[in-house]
Amino acid sequence: MDSDASTASTASDAKASEARQWIKILALYQKPNHGRSIFEIAVTAGLFLLCWVAMWVSLGISYWLCLALTLPAAGLLVRLFLIQHDCGHGAFFRTRSVNDWVGRFLGIFTLTPYDFWKRTHAIHHAGSGNLDRRGLGDIDTLTVREYEALSTRKRFLYRLYRNPLVLFVIGPTYQFFLQHRLPIGLMRRGWTPWVSTMTTNVGIVAFAGLGMWLAGVQEFLIIQVPVTMLATSIGVWLFYVQHQFDETHWNHEEDWNRHDAALHGSSHYDLPPVLTWFTANIGVHHVHHLCSAIPFYRLPKVLRDHPELGGVGRITLWESIRCIPLALWDEDNRRLISFRDFRQLASG
């Protein structure tokens, strides 16, 4: 047993050392190109506006045609969120204030209070893969032992939370439409989360009011609400599959290493080119967690220059579907398992 523990510790140290070496290499890709950043914002926002207008015009032809345009519009809204995401990491512009103000403005359209989200997302990055730091900014995940210790009612509630309809449809809608209207989780941590949330709310009301005035109340709602609902579901799915996959790593504080967790606990979601564009290369998530200051448009160059990173934590679109049932961290076997797997373990 001591020999096995020593071997495991040596392997863990080697992985951590490898991850730290990558930090130095990836630092070369951090510097944003202002022209490229402005171009990405202009293209994404311009296409979103064009798509929105096309949906509005198509209402006079067929609502089904309007609904068909919901998918690209939602994809573009996701892309705007991911630009906001890069701003939150200080990756899109060289000046912090420019990143922050662009992020705050985009938060009006993504229903995300930027400064509040930025803080919770930083907490996620600081403790990703750490079993003792689960909480803000994460998909709630229990270990097998924790689930076994729950009462019948609490087991039911956790299973309900983990139901795909709740996790990827009802939950995202609740989170972005309602939960983000208050700084839930940071309500006692100063005035910044409150100012961020309330000013974003004012901006959302102004945006909605302008949209209703220009397009009509009913027209605005039947376009914007489905687009936003679909975009939030896509966003939560992306976040889920980037950390809830077969080869992910979780450890307790004493065995956890931030760099190792970033490289081996985050997936490389290898999507088809069109989906990669709409999701702003966020699928290269292991590299992003290792060096979050890299602008999304530089991530493909990282993989081209260092193809060995392409196979780390790689999952395809089809393979990602098999991640949906994963719900519990099995500490003994060091892997995520489904409720069905849990029942088999319990009965065995």
Does pLDDT of 5 surpass 50? Answer: no
Which amino acid type is present at position 335? R
Does pLDDT of 13 surpass 50? Answer: yes
Task: Tell me what pLDDT residue 141 has.
Answer: 94
pLDDT in tens, 256-275: 988 888 888 899 999 999 99
Does pLDDT of 34 surpass 70? Answer: yes
CA distances from 116 to 3, 70, 158, 225 (A): 46, 28, 26, 23
Task: Tell me what pLDDT residue 16 has.
Answer: 62
345 versus 203: the higher-pLDDT residue is: 203
CA distances from 80 to 31, 186, 207, 238 (A): 20, 25, 16, 14
Count Cβ neighbours within 10 Å for each residue of 204-230 and write b for 16 or more, e otherwise.
beeeeeebeeebeeebbebbbebbbbb
Angstrom distance (rounded) from CA 311 to CA 263:
11
**Averaged over 315-336, what is the pLDDT?**
94
Closest CA to 233 of 162, 296, 176: 176
pLDDT in tens, 277-300: 999 999 999 999 999 999 999 999
Q: What is the dihedral of CA 81, 78, 76, 49, to 10 degrees?
A: -50
Angstrom distance (rounded) from CA 141 to CA 336:
10
Angstrom distance (rounded) from CA 334 to CA 341:
13
**Averaged over 94-100, what is the pLDDT?**
96
CA distances from 274 to 75, 76, 238, 244, 319 (A): 10, 12, 15, 23, 18
Q: What is the DSSP letter of 242?
A: T
Does pLDDT of 25 surpass 60? Answer: yes
Task: Tell me what pLDDT residue 1 has.
Answer: 46
Considering Cα of 277, then 278, then 284, then 287, what sign does the dihedral take? Answer: positive
Task: Tell me what pLDDT residue 193 has.
Answer: 86
Task: Tell me what pLDDT residue 7 has.
Answer: 43
Task: Tell me what pLDDT residue 8 has.
Answer: 45
Which pair of tokens denotes residue 76?
């573009």
Place of tokens 């994963």: 326
Mean pLDDT over each residue of the chain, to the nearest integer: 91
**Averaged over 11-31, what is the pLDDT?**
78
**Averaged over 88-99, what is the pLDDT?**
96
**Averaged over 73-102, what is the pLDDT?**
97
Which pair of tokens denotes residue 285?
């998530």
Task: Tell me what pLDDT residue 348 has.
Answer: 66
Is there a contact between 339 and 164 (Cβ–Cβ < 8 Å)?
no
Task: Tell me what pLDDT residue 154 has.
Answer: 97
Task: Tell me what pLDDT residue 6 has.
Answer: 46
Which amino acid type is present at position 217? V
Does pLDDT of 4 surpass 50? Answer: no
- What is the residue extent of each domain of the chain? 2-141+159-321
- Window from 130-144, 167-181, 194-208, 263-277 with minimum mean pLDDT: 130-144
Closest CA to 112 of 137, 143, 142: 137
pLDDT in tens, 182-222: 888 787 777 888 999 999 999 999 999 999 999 999 999 99
Q: How many CB atoms are closer than 10 A to CB 294?
A: 25
Task: Tell me what pLDDT residue 12 has.
Answer: 57
Note the pTM of the prediction, 2 decimals: 0.92
Task: Tell me what pLDDT residue 14 has.
Answer: 57
Task: Tell me what pLDDT residue 2 has.
Answer: 53
